[in-house]
Structure 1
């Protein structure tokens, strides 16, 4: 049995084929870059139809090379929090709003949850621009004729499978799900102004989809393959990093960065305490993932290298090796992209201090990367309070894989914890496959 794993990311869409142990097969990878449209007003959007086209192109490439032969299961990891307004026929009425978009805001006079703490504990989220509780009314006020709403994977699956059911993992990222009851939260739905039929149906445990006839003809190797419910990218990255229980936290640095911990929590179970500044989502029907995330990660790494015209990889690493993490003269606030919830600091909040005429571009780069490490360290200590113990840490993601110095900086900031690095660059896709097969 082979598994086709789809990674519906923010900066790219990828398809790769894994064996039954969820190990990527050599060469069986197709990737297409996608571009988030950003502006000074806080927009962060994707063209949903163009994104679907990029995914189809990946599958065409894999099919042409014969890589889809023997695939019996399709798993997907997808960016959380996205939403696209649709007309009655399921066509987008505007661009897909990603997690990067900071424009949504509550309407004039809108009231939030009656009990903020209870709302946070039930949904794992806040009444915040990041979630559908604020995004949906904001979109409806700007786009006439909205018939319903979908996230990125629901839009994609509705086209490919004819069934855009939403997994509990993806639903938890909307801020509308009661995490214990595994159903839409009545108060959150009311805050979002949702009308009957405007939300995707929730996929039950054991849900499986199949390709529509036209796509089965296009990719005959996938004709009889089952499609599993998508897993939120953060949850999938934890599982793919080997952090499937509360003994190990995953620190993942992809486009953004996050620290997360998975715990068992079957439907109806009493949920563990949730500190005020941490979010909580679902991995699947049996597990929750608690953590926090940051707007700066690999995107920050790439931006600094580009704008400061830093040397290429080997030369840059050699220059960084002369600097000791935690002992830098330059200090940095790495929030160039603003806060992720519950903070509401807008984009443009990043800062550097301690700069003189002798300061080099490499020192400024190091300070920003070290700043991310200390953000993570502070929040990991809070995350550990939910399990009342110190946990081991697994570093993952393409950005830290590319920099030995950044891995060293994380080890220093997270000491005395045990810190190791997982080298698999496809932890999200691997994790989605493990969740889909139940082989955690």
Structure 2
């Protein structure tokens, strides 16, 4: 009997707001896609959690749906490969049952533990070895919080895992974590590719309570038979453990060469570039995460990306958003058109877009949003534009730190929800003073996972072939006049933050009822 050609990779991207599943052909064409959304549980101040079982079911359903809807045969699937959001933490028992919800990156309960670690003698040394900035998002500080506040659960826990590790443990009965996700925990020694002894001591855990670290190309076999049947795949289908969504987004947009900055903006945002060996920022502003043993992604993530535009739609400009809907228009397009009528720089109105605290480059969970320079000459359109500019300023502050550490960039590759907005992309081009290219694929993390699956299966040997997958869409060039305006305003943006830094701590204490 002639062997059936295995033509497809199933790529599963476990994100903060949804799990997106792609069925990708070897050529890079997406044959089918499916998305399942879920919410964030934030019943108390500082909490941001998700239900692990709900996300597990989204993974099962997503795989089943892309195979069924495409009418592809199960024996044509080469492998299933994963992308996942970083920094989640779940306590599980010996039977892989969750003892906590999935505590996600946006959870800020560990702010005191992060501050304490920052002020300690060992904190900066731990950062230099692990590449994860000291912040409440980090599983290291989350573990410190759990140990001090949920000690009964902490003592009962068999393993502390991330969301992808939990799903794979349920499917294969093994607790593993890829180097990429591990390098975002604050517990992983980048040079040794092993758990860091001092970080574990600070967290109060031993290596046997953490997953086994494995390469991003590691393949799992021995799928649970009942779950294979539910997904509609063959029992011997390899599952590639994959990597973090951020580093895979770089691969998915072809930004794996020095000087190309990948910028993705979804709910949050990030700036990243690829280097050949681990690099830590002496000032502690940037992360360093593994893609493979020879490719490391350096950059920084901001908390406040597309979530700010949603805030504009739902709070600041509700009447305008309602008018857009009455006209059958997309509210975001309508609001962007209003903002576009305002000159670059919003006629001197600056916005610090830190409504949910901030990660890179300041790593300040107490930071808050600010409109600065507001006068009677400013209207709502000015405020809308200043919000969009503020998000770009926040990203540019990360890029400035990145340039200082690894050298200047020559091109921006943009992806994520904001890449759909021509206006917002042009603002970025003008603020950064750098040409911007939009690959013709929005789901960059999923495509990156698919290509990593081909590498894991020995179908391709390096990253170069991913360029054939990427068709360049719109390219933006710098408006020199606008760039000059932004060059005057950006230093003022940073100055406003610096002068308000101590006041942010005071207002955060008031808001938290302290």
What TM-score results when the alignment is normalised by the length of structure 1?
0.91
Counterpart secondary structure, 1:38? coil
Q: Aligned-pair distance for 1:72?
A: 1.0
Bigger shift: 155-164 or 330-339? 155-164
Per-residue CA distance 1:244-301 (angstroms, 9 max, x = gap): 1212011110111111111122xxxxx4462421111111222111111110111111
Q: Aligned-pair distance for 1:100?
A: 0.4
Counterpart Cα distance in 1 of 2:121 and 2:334:
55
What TM-score results when the alignment is normalised by the length of structure 2?
0.79
Counterpart Cα distance in 1 of 2:438 and 2:286:
24
Match status 1:288 vs 2:296: yes
Q: How does 1:1-150 map to 2 (within 5 A)?
A: 1-25=7-31, 28-39=32-43, 41-67=45-71, 69=73, 70-105=76-111, 114-143=121-150, 144=152, 145-150=156-161
Counterpart secondary structure, 1:305? helix
Counterpart secondary structure, 2:311? helix
Within the candidate set 371, 386, 398, 1:367 is matched to 386
Within the candidate set 425, 450, 469, 1:407 is matched to 425
Q: What corresponds to 2:358 in structure 1?
A: 339
Q: What corresponds to 1:268 in structure 2?
A: none
Per-residue CA distance 1:172-196 (angstroms, 9 max, x = gap): 0111111121111111111111135
* Counterparts in 2 of 1:110 and 1:42: CA distance versus 1, 3 Å: closer
CA contact (8 A) 1:17 1:68 kept: no
Within the candidate set 222, 226, 229, 1:217 is matched to 229
CA contact (8 A) 1:85 1:139 kept: no
Bigger shift: 232-241 or 134-143? 134-143
Bigger shift: 289-298 or 391-400? 391-400
* Counterparts in 2 of 1:65 and 1:381: CA distance versus 1, 3 Å: same
CA contact (8 A) 1:171 1:177 kept: yes
Q: Aligned-pair distance for 1:361?
A: 2.7
Q: Aligned-pair distance for 1:353?
A: 2.6
Counterpart Cα distance in 1 of 2:163 and 2:233:
24
Counterpart Cα distance in 1 of 2:249 and 2:195:
25
More helix by share: 2
